[in-house]
Structure 1
Amino acid sequence: MLGDLNKAQLLDFLNQQVIGRLGCSNDGETYVVPINYVYRANAIYAHSGNGKKIDMMRANPKVCFLIDEIVNTFNWKSAIIQGTFSELHGETRQQAMQGIIHKIMPLTSKPTQEPSHGINPAEHDNLIVYKIEFSSISGKYESHDDEA
């Protein structure tokens, strides 16, 4: 069966996942990268060091975000979010970073030996914490689990 995910299914799906793909564009170039995230209150929260995606989102804050779960060709689901990037500061930044840490760290087997997600450890104090506020969200699924 092929179908649309309803709102409750979409929000559950966003809460279950921790990695998505962020798409941004500027000056005729499109860039898509995987990111760790946490979902809260109609927004995706994430962090990054300075680099291409941050430069592109600062220049054009309209972005796209994709999450998916693929078991096989005939059993999958995906959601696409259109939204707007904004950087966080102060207490909001700190709360978002705590949410990210609480979501991601339990998934690591040896937190002290895990990679720094492409961010130089000396630059951790300069992390950019941001949110993608939704303007729209939609999702699809295909499942044949109930077929014999």
Structure 2
Amino acid sequence: MLGKLTDAQMEDLLKQQVTGRIACHADGDTYIVPINYVYSAPYIYSHAGKGKKIDMMRLNPKVCFEVDEINNIFHWKSVVAWGEFEEVTDLEEKERLMQGLIHRIMPFSNNPGDHPSHGITERDSDIGDTVEIIIYKIRLDRMTGRFEQSQN
């Protein structure tokens, strides 16, 4: 059976998952990549280093976000949401959001203290001067959700 997720089911899926996909479009180019995130309505919070995704979102802040839960080919849930990128520049907000991201994604890591590319390490010297971590949020303004499950 195919169906639509309710608002509550979409909220639950966004809160339960830790990895989604963000799609951006700028200068005639479309780009989609997976991200780790934290959801707190109406925002998706995430972080990244400088690169194509950040460059594109700075040029065109309108983005699309997708998250799913796939048990098998005939049993899945998916949410697609549209919103707007906003770079977080306030230092206190950046620190608070980064701590939230760390607490959310570290339970899924085999070695929680060894991820300098995410700004997560036991030694600050591992990060060095070359990694600038950009904290951003996506303010979701609309979403849709679908599911499929067998009728057994």
TM over 0.5: yes
Where does structure 2 lack aligned partners over 5 or more consecutive residues? Answer: 121-125
Residues of 1 paired with 2:111 and 2:92: CA distance? 29
Q: Give the aligned partner of residue 141 of structure 1.
A: 147
Q: Give the aligned partner of residue 71 of structure 2.
A: 71
Q: Give the aligned partner of residue 35 of structure 1.
A: 35
Where does structure 1 lack aligned partners over 5 or more consecutive residues? Answer: none
Residues 57-97 of structure 1 deviation map (CA, whole Å, 9 limit, x = unaligned)? 00000000000111222111100010000001222211111
What root-mean-square deviation, in Å, do the aligned CA atoms of Structure 1 and Structure 2 show? Answer: 2.1
Q: Give the aligned partner of residue 137 of structure 2.
A: 131
Structure 1 residues 114, 75: closer, same or farther in 2, change over 3 A?
Answer: same
Structure 1 residue ranges, 4+ long, deviating more than 6 angstroms after superposition? none
**Residue aligned with 1:110, SS:** coil
Residues of 1 paired with 2:4 and 2:105: CA distance? 28
Residues 24-81 of structure 1 deviation map (CA, whole Å, 9 limit, x = unaligned)? 0001100000000000121100000000000000000000000011122211110001
- Measure how far apart 1:123 and its partner are: 4.9
Residues of 2 paired with 1:131 and 1:110: CA distance? 26
Residues of 2 paired with 1:123 and 1:16: CA distance? 34
Q: Give the aligned partner of residue 123 of structure 2.
A: none
How many residues are matched?
146
Residues of 2 paired with 1:69 and 1:123: CA distance? 37
The TM-score normalised by the length of structure 2 is 0.88
Quick one: percent identity of the two aligned structures?
A: 52
Q: How does 1:53-92 map to 2 (within 5 A)?
A: 53-89=53-89, 90-92=91-93
Name the aligned partner's letter for residue 138 of structure 1.
T
Report the more deviating stretch, 41-50 or 103-112. Answer: 103-112
Residues 110-138 of structure 1 deviation map (CA, whole Å, 9 limit, x = unaligned)? 11345735x99325762100000011011
Q: Give the aligned partner of residue 21 of structure 1.
A: 21
**Residue aligned with 2:113, SS:** helix
